[in-house]
């Protein structure tokens, strides 16, 4: 099967790089390098190899032959009804002709070795078809589980003659763990949870803020202890300590990605629960527009970032994207004439030209201690990952008053709440009023999948109810027809969403707000004044995304009750 033309426009180094990738990633990488769609490239591959394309994958149910799970995962192929040999009356010839070729769909042209292995294990030659890589991978995951091929016990038995049972099982567990992590990376998961229960070891990914269970091999419970031990070994934790929580980190390479994985173990009734936080060291920081800021919000923020001194705070609960936003702001103002130093926990994104460090509380290197040292490094801009205590807040404020621009985060529900939170830390109100320039409260909502989103077609009274709950001007009902709803397709794993976008509430410390702070007025009063000065609330920001078709009303409404309480 000639594939020469597929690699055209690629140099030798790029071709070698593609050939070293897993089969599931080759087509997408070539398409990216040649700046064409995967669908176009797939059609080109089909024409060159003579392999027919398959649109919708339909698996063969209860075949008379058995294809080992290891081959399904290693060769990324699935048995399908498409191309199934049939008799004249249209029924299957499977029962009559046990030598008929097995129809298989794969995502990259097969080689002779694959043909030989299929024939050796099934007694029949394969009849190959090409399928969309994403669809093939999702079919394998949905019907055969992540890493099922690694823990295929039938394969473990066949290898006994060459290796010891325990050695082979160790290798299978290593492959399984690697596959689970690699699959999480390809699915854009931020966390992986291994959760032991009475009769199963459940594995769940957190994708776009939502937990998604993944299908796993039926015999996974048998390997529970080995899998947990493998994770602890990778993190250099004590595998014999199972009664106390442990924390560690893992460096993991997956394709072109370099992951810094934070691991946490926690003892439960049926074994240790393990959580992995995936931090991609090569992740590209987002731009202001990619964060979800509209042009007016972007203009306000850019003006605040251009000031030579003061504090800009980003607030929100855990997982609301505060660190991602801070990194985007740092990237915006990063210039050769500015010395920028960050103190983070952990360093989630690398920004070229910026001096980044990570706190280590276990050796006394806290945010406060790091901030003191940073002030002796002649910085122009300082980013502090989080203000957790009075000491850190006090140093940050005094740094801003001595000519530094300080960016940091606080755990508060809204923008005005950050001001009262600082007062609760026993920081003098006049210092807060003089140093804080801007506060940005944010949340993350799931972004609609562009492939399957469709108009929601709400009734007029429904739109009116939504607007009332979100405290938005009733006149906005005229845009209700622009609202969309989630459907679900193969590209978004039938979730209807793919990725997330931010909604924001930006409070500028004006003269009126300054007076409220000095008088120790409540957050509610500060909020009312800010709204009267054209501060756009979280709900109004969310409504903007609804009108653009970026997200759904239901996604934004999740925060409506919170805002009503604050108002």
Q: Is residue 93 part of a domain?
A: no
Q: Which of 156-170, 225-239, 523-537 has the lowest mean pLDDT?
A: 156-170
In terms of domains, do 419 and 312 share one? yes
Residue 437 has pLDDT above 50, yes or no: yes
pLDDT classification of 147: cutoffs 50, 70, 90: low
- What local confidence, expressed as pLDDT, does residue 3 receive? 62
In a shared domain, residues 200 and 270: yes
Q: Are residues 296 and 347 in the same domain?
A: yes
Does one domain contain both 228 and 294? no
Domain end position, chosen among 234, 249, 279: 279
Domain shared by 262 and 371, yes or no? no
Identify the CATH number of the domain in which residue 106 sits: 3.30.300.160
Average confidence score pLDDT of the chain: 84
Q: Is the pLDDT of residue 53 over 80?
A: yes
Kindly report whether the peptide bond that precedes residue 346 is cis, defined as omega within 30 degrees of 0.
yes
Same structural domain, 173 and 78: no
The helix, strand and coil proportions of the chain, stated in percent and rounded to the nearest 5, come to: 40, 20, 35
What's the structural domain count of the chain? Answer: 3
Residue 61's pLDDT is what?
Answer: 66
The answer on 381 and 243 residing in a single domain is no
Paired tokens of 9? 């426009």
**295 and 267 within one domain:** no
Q: What is the pLDDT of residue 55?
A: 75
pLDDT confidence of residue 118: 82
Q: Are residues 126 and 181 in the same domain?
A: no
pLDDT for the residue 139: 81
Lowest mean pLDDT among 59-73, 197-211, 357-371: 59-73
Tell the burial category of 431 from Cβ atoms under 10 Å away from its Cβ (0-12, 13-18, 19+): middle
- Does residue 488 form part of some domain? no
Question: 408: domain CATH number?
Answer: 3.40.50.300
Looking at residues 546-560, what average pLDDT do you find?
A: 91
Mean pLDDT of the region 222-242: 92
Same domain, 174 and 104: no
Residues 321 and 204 grouped into a single domain? no
* 68-89 average pLDDT score: 64
**Number of residues assigned to the chain:** 567
The answer to whether residues 432 and 360 belong to one domain is yes
Would you say residue 430 has pLDDT above 70? yes
- The mean per-residue pLDDT over the stretch 140-148 comes to 70
Given this model, what pLDDT does residue 201 score?
A: 92
| Spatial CB neighbours of 274, under 8 Å, sequence gap ≥ 6 | 193, 194, 228, 231, 232, 263, 264, 265, 266
pLDDT tens sequence across 513-545: 999 999 999 999 999 999 999 899 999 999 999
Where helices occur in 310-459 by DSSP H, the ranges are: 322-333, 367-374, 390-401, 415-424, 429-435
Question: Would you say residue 372 has pLDDT above 80?
Answer: yes
**What pLDDT does 419 receive?**
94
Give me the DSSP letters along 129-181: EE--HHHHHHHHHHHH-TTTTTT-HHHHHHTTTTS-HHHHHHHHHHHHHHHHH
Q: Is residue 90 pLDDT above 60, yes or no?
A: no
Residue 160 inside a domain? The answer is no
Q: What is the pLDDT of residues 60-75, one digit of tens each?
A: 665 656 677 777 877 8
Residue 212 belongs to some domain of the structure: yes
Inside any domain, residue 221: yes
From 222, 255, 279, the end of a domain falls on 279
User: Side-chain half-sphere of 548: how many Cα atoms within 13 Å?
Assistant: 15
Judge if pTM exceeds 0.85: no
425 vs 80, residue with greater confidence: 425
Instruction: List the one residue out of 24, 154, 18 whose CA is nearest residue 76.
Output: 24
Q: What percent of the chain has pLDDT over 90?
A: 45
Tens digits of residue pLDDT in 274-299: 999 998 766 666 778 888 898 889 99
**What are the distances in angstroms from CA 418 to CA 314, 415, 521?**
9, 6, 13
- Determine the 3-state secondary structure of 189 from DSSP: strand
Which residues span the domain enclosing 225?
A: 169-279
Confidence at residue 19, expressed as pLDDT on a 0 to 100 scale: 78
CATH classification of the domain holding 210: 3.30.450.90
Q: Which tens digits make up the pLDDT trace of 296-351?
A: 899 999 999 999 999 999 999 888 889 889 999 999 999 999 999 999 988 888 88
> What's the confidence (pLDDT) of residue 513?
95
pLDDT score of 145 more than 80: no
Residue by residue, what is the 3-state secondary structure of 48-89? HHCCCECCCCCECCCCCCCCCHHHHHHHCEEEECCCCCECCC
Specify which of 134-138, 208-212, 228-232 reaches the highest per-range mean pLDDT. Answer: 228-232
264 lies in some domain: yes
Of the given ranges (50-59, 161-170, 195-204, 250-259), which has the lowest mean pLDDT? 161-170
Helix 23-33 / helix 133-144 crossing angle, nearest 10 deg: 160
What local confidence, expressed as pLDDT, does residue 1 receive? 46
Q: Is residue 92 part of a domain?
A: no
Residue at 30 is within a domain? yes
**Residues 477-498, mean pLDDT to the nearest whole number:** 87
Residue 560, pLDDT > 90, answer no
Name the band, by pLDDT with cuts 50, 70 and 90, for residue 216.
Answer: confident
> Sorting pLDDT into bands at 50, 70 and 90, what band is 256?
low
Beta carbons of 557 and 408 less than 8 angstroms apart: no
């Amino acid at each position: 099967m000639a594939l020469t033309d597929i690699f055209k426009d690629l140099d030798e180094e790029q071709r070698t790089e593609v050939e070293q990738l897993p089969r599931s990633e080759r087509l997408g990488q070539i398409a990216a390098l040649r700046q064409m769609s995967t669908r176009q490239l797939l059609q080109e591959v089909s024409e060159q190899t003579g392999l027919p394309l398959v649109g919708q994958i339909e698996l063969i149910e209860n075949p008379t032959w058995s294809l080992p799970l290891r081959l399904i995962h290693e060769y990324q192929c699935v048995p399908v009804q498409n191309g199934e040999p049939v008799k004249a009356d249209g029924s299957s010839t499977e029962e009559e002709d046990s030598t008929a070729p097995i129809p298989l769909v794969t995502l990259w042209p097969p080689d002779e070795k694959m043909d030989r292995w299929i024939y050796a294990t099934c007694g029949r030659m394969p009849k190959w078809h090409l399928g969309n890589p994403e669809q093939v991978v999702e079919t394998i995951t949905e019907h055969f589980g992540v890493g099922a091929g690694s823990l295929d016990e039938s394969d473990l038995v066949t290898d006994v003659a060459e290796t010891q049972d325990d050695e082979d099982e160790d290798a299978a567990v290593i492959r399984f763990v690697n596959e689970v992590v690699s699959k999480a990376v390809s699915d854009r998961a931020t966390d992986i949870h291994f959760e032991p229960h009475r009769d199963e070891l459940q594995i769940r990914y957190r994708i776009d803020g939502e937990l998604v269970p993944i299908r796993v091999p039926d015999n996974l419970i048998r390997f529970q202890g080995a899998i947990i031990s493998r994770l602890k070994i990778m993190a250099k934790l004590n595998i014999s300590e199972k009664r106390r929580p442990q924390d560690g980190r893992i460096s993991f390479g997956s394709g072109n990605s370099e992951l810094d994985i934070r691991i946490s173990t926690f003892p439960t009734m049926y074994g240790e629960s393990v959580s992995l936080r995936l931090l991609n060291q090569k992740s590209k920081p987002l731009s202001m527009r990619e964060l979800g800021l509209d042009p007016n919000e972007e203009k306000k923020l850019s003006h605040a970032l251009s000031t030579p001194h003061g504090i800009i705070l980003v607030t929100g609960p855990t997982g609301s994207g505060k660190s991602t936003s801070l990194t985007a702001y740092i990237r915006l103002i990063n210039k050769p004439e500015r010395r920028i130093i960050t103190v983070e926990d952990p360093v989630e994104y690398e920004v070229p030209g910026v001096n980044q460090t990570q706190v280590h509380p276990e050796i006394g290197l806290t945010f406060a201690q790091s901030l003191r040292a940073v002030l002796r490094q002649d910085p122009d801009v300082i980013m502090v990952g989080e203000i957790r205590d009075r000491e850190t807040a006090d140093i940050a404020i005094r740094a801003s008053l001595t000519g530094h621009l300080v960016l940091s985060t606080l755990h508060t529900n809204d923008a005005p709440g950050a001001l009262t939170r600082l007062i609760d830390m026993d920081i003098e109100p006049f210092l807060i009023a003089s140093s804080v320039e801007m506060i940005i409260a944010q949340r993350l909502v799931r972004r609609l999948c562009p492939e399957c989103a469709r108009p929601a077609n709400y009734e007029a009274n429904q739109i009116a109810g939504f607007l009332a709950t979100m405290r938005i001007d009733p006149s906005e009902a005229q845009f209700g027809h622009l609202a969309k709803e989630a459907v679900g397709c193969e590209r978004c794993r039938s979730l209807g969403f793919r990725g997330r976008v931010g909604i924001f509430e930006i409070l500028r410390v004006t003269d009126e707000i300054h007076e409220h702070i000095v008088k120790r007025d409540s957050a509610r009063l500060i909020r009312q004044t800010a709204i009267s000065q054209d501060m756009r609330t979280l709900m109004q920001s969310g409504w903007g995304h609804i009108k653009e078709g970026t997200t759904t009303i239901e996604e934004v409404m999740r925060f409506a009750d919170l805002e009503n309480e604050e108002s």
